[in-house]
Structure 1
Amino acid sequence: MPDERPERLPPQQQDHQPGSEDEMFPAPLYQPRFPGSGRLRDKVAIISGGDSGIGRACSVLFAREGARVAIIYLEEDSDAEATAERVEAEGSEAVLLRGDIGSKSFCEDAVTETLARFGRIDVLVNNAAEQHPQEDLTGISPEQLEQTFRTNVFGYFYLTQAVLPHLEAGASIVNTTSVTAYRGSPELIDYSSTRGAIVAFTRSLSQALAERQIRVNAVAPGPIWTPLIPASFDAGKVGEFGTSQPLGRPGQPNEVAPCHLFLASDDSSYMTGQVLHPNGGEIVGG
C-alpha cells in the first residue's frame, strides 16, 4: 500500500455511525510502517472499536509485535472481518466480538470469551467512540447526550471493570481520548465533555492501580482520517478536515497507533497517568 498522506481529502459523507472504512476514499493508512520487534510477544490485547480507524491500526500493529487480539466492534462486520484477516496475515490470532460496549453485560461476556479463547488478558485499549455534531447546545437531545456518554464513558468504565480482575502486575490500560478534551469544540460539546471525562478517568485510575503495578495512560489524537469523520460531518467539512493543523493535513491511523503500542509495552514502564498528543502540532495544555 502506498504510504501517502494527502493534505486534503475528497469531499464525502456517510449516512450512519460508526461508519465504514470500506466506503472511504482514499482508504485510511493503517498498515504498520516498520518491522516488529516482539514488544508484545505472548501478550493478549482487547481493543474496543478495533475493526476500523485507529482501532484497526492498533490491532494490526499489536499483532505485528506479537500480541493476540480480541477485536470489539459494534456492527460493521466487513470492516471487522478485514481487520481480523490482517491480524492473521501478521502471523497472529484474532477473535471478533460484536456488540455494544454501552452494555455492561456485553462487556462482561466479551472478557469471558477472550479468556476462553486466549487464556489471559494483558492489555486493554479503550478506543470505541461516537460523536454527533450540533451547532447549538440546545440541539443536543437527551437521547443524544445519554448515548454519547454511554458509549464514550460508560463503555470505558464497563469494559475496564470487566477486565480488571484478570489483569496482573505489568498489565497496561490505554484509553483513547481527544484533542477536544483540551481545547474544546463548539460543535461537539457533548463529545468533548466525554473526552475530558476520559482524561480524568485515566489520571484517577492510574493512581488507584499503581500499587498493583498496572499502568493506565491515554492518547489524545487530533484530526485523524477514520470512518467517524465522514459519518459525522458533511462533505464540505470533510474536504477541509485537518487542514488547519500546523502540519497542514489530517493524520492517519498508523501515525497514532504507535502511541498506543508505546504505552501498552514495557517501553513506557515508568509512565502512568500520562497522555500522548499525536495531533499535527497543535499545542495543548496538560
Structure 2
Amino acid sequence: MSARRFEGQVVVVTGAAQGIGRGVALALAGEGARLVLADRSPLVEEVAAEARALGAPVLVAMVDLETWAGAEQLVAAALAEYGRVEVLVNNVGGTIWAQPYQEYTPEQIEAEVRRSLFPTLWCCRAVLPDMVARQQGVIVNVSSIATRSIYRIPYAASKGGVNAMTASLAMEHAQNGIRVNAVATGGTDAPPRRIPRNAQPLSAQEQAWYQGIIDQTVASSLMHRYGTIDEQVRAILFLASSEASYITGTVLPVGGGDQG
C-alpha cells in the first residue's frame, strides 16, 4: 500500500472545518493531495493552514452547500484553480435537533433535509459534468448508520436519500469511469464542535432525548462503543483511493458492527 495514494490528485472535501471533514482533509494532505476545502465556517482557514504545513496546495471555498449556487461556485473555483476534480468527499451534514418525530416542526424537518441531503445532491450534480467529460472520477458520500435510529427521523431520511443516490449514481455512471460509494459512519467521538449545529441551550427534556441517541447507538454497536475520527477517515480514504478500484455502489457501515 502506498503511503501517498493521492499524490497530485485534486480532492474536494466539503464540511472540512471540523470533525471528520477536518480529519479527512489532513489525512489527504499527508498523502499528497491537492485540496479544495469547502465550508461556510471561517474555521476552515485553520484547517487549510494545517494542511499547507503538511505540504499540500490548498484552495479554500467559503460556500453554503445547502444551495445549488454554493455547490456550483465550489466546483467552478476548483476547476479554475486546478483544471479538474478527481475526488469529491461529501461530508456536510449532521443532526440539528434530537427529539421524537412528532416534536419536530415543519420548519425543523425542512432544515434537517437541507443540511443533510441537499449538499450531497448539489455537489454531485455540480461535479459530474467534469468527471463525465474526463471519463474518470471518484465520489465518496458520508452517510450514517442513523438510517435505523431514534429521535432523528428527518436526519435518518436524509441519509437514506444519500444511500439511495450513492447506489443509483454508481449504476448510472460506471460507464463513465466514475466510482460512487458511501461510508455510513457510526457514533464517533470528536472534540466539542466550536460552532454547534444547534446554538440554543438544551432543556432537560432535550438533553434526555440526546442521551437516548447515545445510549441506542452504543447498544446497537456490536462493539458497544463509539468510534474515533481516524477510524472513519481510514474508511473514507480507502474508498476514495485506487485500492478500492473494483468497488462502486457500496454503502460501507463503519459502526462497530451496526449495519444501519
Taking structure 2 as the reference length, the TM-score comes to: 0.86
> Which structure is higher in RCO with an 8 Å CA cutoff and minimum separation 6?
1
Task: Give the AA of the match of 2:236.
Answer: H
Aligned equivalents of 1:248, 1:186: Cα separation in 2:
17
- 1:18 maps to none
**Mapped pair 1:249 → 2:213:** no
Cα distance, 1:216 vs structure 2: 0.2
- 1:49 maps to 15
Deviation string for 1:112-137 (max 9, x for gaps)? 11112222110011110031334322
Residues 124 and 173 in structure 1, CA contact (< 8 A), matched pair in contact too: yes
Pick from 39, 52, 61: which aligns with 2:27?
61
Aligned equivalents of 1:169, 1:262: Cα separation in 2:
21
**Mapped pair 1:217 → 2:181:** yes
Q: Secondary structure at the match of 1:63?
A: helix
- Count of paired positions: 246
Larger relative helix fraction: 2
Task: Give the AA of the match of 1:116.
Answer: A
Task: Give the AA of the match of 1:237.
Answer: Q
- 1:12 maps to none
Task: Give the AA of the match of 1:263.
Answer: L
Q: Secondary structure at the match of 1:218?
A: strand
Q: Secondary structure at the match of 2:227?
A: coil
**RMSD (Å) for aligned C-alpha atoms:** 2.5
- 1:21 maps to none
Gaps of 5+ in 1: 1-34
- 1:99 maps to 63
Aligned equivalents of 1:69, 1:251: Cα separation in 2:
26
- 1:237 maps to 211
**Which region of structure 1 is more displaced relative to structure 2, 37-46 or 142-151?**
142-151
Question: 1:272-283 counterparts in 2 under 5 A?
Answer: 272-282=248-258
Residues 178 and 195 in structure 1, CA contact (< 8 A), matched pair in contact too: yes
Q: Secondary structure at the match of 1:203?
A: helix
Aligned equivalents of 1:255, 1:180: Cα separation in 2:
17
Residues 63 and 73 in structure 2, CA contact (< 8 A), matched pair in contact too: no
- 1:174 maps to 140
Pick from 110, 114, 131: which aligns with 2:95?
131
Cα distance, 1:251 vs structure 2: 1.4
Residues 130 and 228 in structure 1, CA contact (< 8 A), matched pair in contact too: no
Pick from 27, 30, 39: which aligns with 2:5?
39
Question: 1:15-26 counterparts in 2 under 5 A?
Answer: none
Residues 219 and 275 in structure 1, CA contact (< 8 A), matched pair in contact too: yes
Aligned equivalents of 2:142, 2:53: Cα separation in 1:
25
Task: Give the AA of the match of 2:136.
Answer: G
Gaps of 5+ in 2: 199-205
Cα distance, 1:36 vs structure 2: 6.5
- 1:258 maps to 234
Aligned equivalents of 2:35, 2:207: Cα separation in 1:
33
Aligned equivalents of 2:173, 2:227: Cα separation in 1:
32
Q: Secondary structure at the match of 1:124?
A: strand
**Which region of structure 1 is more displaced relative to structure 2, 60-69 or 224-233?**
224-233
Cα distance, 1:205 vs structure 2: 0.5
Among the aligned pairs, what percent are the same residue? Answer: 32
Q: Secondary structure at the match of 1:162?
A: helix
Residues 172 and 216 in structure 1, CA contact (< 8 A), matched pair in contact too: yes
**Which region of structure 1 is more displaced relative to structure 2, 255-264 or 211-220?**
255-264
Aligned equivalents of 1:81, 1:225: Cα separation in 2:
23
**Which region of structure 1 is more displaced relative to structure 2, 132-141 or 241-250?**
241-250
Residues 37 and 59 in structure 2, CA contact (< 8 A), matched pair in contact too: yes
CA change 1:197–1:260 in 2 (3 A) is: same
- 1:268 maps to 244
Residues 63 and 87 in structure 1, CA contact (< 8 A), matched pair in contact too: yes
Task: Give the AA of the match of 2:95.
Answer: Q
Taking structure 1 as the reference length, the TM-score comes to: 0.79
